[in-house]
Amino acid sequence: MASKSFEAKENQKEYWGSKLNQRLSFLTERGFEPGKIAKDTIVRKFRAKMRETESRLKTIALKAKKVEEMARIKAEKAAAPKQEKGKKKKEVGKTTEKSKRQQKKSKKQASKSKE
């Protein structure tokens, strides 16, 4: 599993950068042309690793920024005074109406009692 820490990725970036520099110096000592050096598979691999590590570092930084932002928002919510919800008051003058089911039931009972 890949490391998710910023420090570990920084170390990886330095590692791949040093490997790339070693390879480039080796190829220039051998007398390769810049076009040939750019097409070298090992150089391309090291550059790809560098790009991948850079991308991961950016992602880690964005995630850390988002965590800080969420913590700030949470602190603001905690500091804000809470508004208490008022209890619903019962209306005194209003009579409760029966539901249709209750109306049918009482009507049915009334018809049975007549018989």
For the cut 60, the answer to whether the pLDDT of residue 1 exceeds it is no
Q: Which residue has the higher pLDDT, 59 or 86?
A: 59
pLDDT of residue 92: 60
pLDDT above 90: percentage of residues in the chain: 66
Domain coordinates in residue numbering, the chain: 6-78
pLDDT tens digits for range 13-36: 999 999 999 999 999 999 999 999
Reported pTM: 0.61
> 6-15 long-range CB contacts below 8 Å, 24 or more apart?
6/57, 6/60, 6/61, 6/64, 9/53, 9/56, 9/57, 9/60, 10/57, 12/49, 12/53, 13/50, 13/53, 13/54, 13/57
